[in-house]
């Protein structure tokens, strides 16, 4: 990953932090993207296996994402013992907004971050 990729990711994260959207942990974001970007059905057990974490870790992340309205649990109509993790409109809208931050970060080039001084040319330091 080059410096340009890291700079784009940094700009996207700064824009996201400034947006006022809820701060998600890396685990929460990974879980959210896993449910939205991979085919289901998704279960706590399967998500835990894919992420390489315990089921309680996934459950805690789901509690937070559920409270935000980004994911929800739904009982399997065929076998009521099974619970699936499903997408919501709020979660889809959140990820669409996050994609805009990523695109803007990629398009940012070398633009300075607001509140940060632009780099001075090397000759100016002499």
The stretch 94-111 carries a mean pLDDT of 79
Query: Is 48 inside any structural domain?
Result: yes
Query: Is 78 inside any structural domain?
Result: yes
- Which tokens is 110 given? 């070398």
pLDDT 10s digits, 13-54 = 898 899 888 989 999 999 999 999 999 999 999 999 999 999
Contact 42, 34 (CB under 8 A): yes
Torsion of CA 103, 100, 53, 68, to 10 degrees: 170
Query: Is 84 inside any structural domain?
Result: yes
Looking at per-residue pLDDT, the higher value among 115 and 97 belongs to 97
Q: What is the DSSP string of 80-99?
A: TT-EEEEE-HHHHHHHHHHH
- State the pTM of this model: 0.77
> Does residue 41 have a cis bond before it (omega within 30 degrees)?
yes
Q: Residue 2 — pLDDT band, cuts 50, 70, 90?
A: low
Domain containing residue 55: CATH number = 1.10.10.10
Count of structural domains within the chain = 1
pLDDT of 115 > 70? The answer is no
pLDDT, position 108? 60
Q: What domain range includes position 42?
A: 3-109
Contact 91, 32 (CB under 8 A): yes
């Amino acid at each position: 990953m080059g410096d340009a990729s890291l700079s784009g990711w940094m700009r996207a994260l700064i824009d996201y932090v400034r947006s006022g959207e809820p701060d998600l942990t890396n685990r929460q974001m990974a879980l959210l993207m896993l449910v939205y970007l991979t085919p289901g059905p998704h279960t706590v057990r399967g998500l835990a296996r894919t992420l390489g974490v315990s089921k309680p870790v996934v459950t805690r992340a789901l509690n937070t994402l559920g409270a935000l309205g980004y994911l929800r649990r739904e009982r399997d109509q065929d076998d009521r013992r099974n619970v699936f993790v499903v997408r919501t409109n709020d979660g889809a809208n959140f990820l669409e907004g996050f994609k805009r931050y990523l695109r803007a970060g990629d398009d940012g080039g070398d633009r300075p971050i607001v509140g940060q001084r632009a780099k001075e040319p090397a000759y100016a330091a002499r």
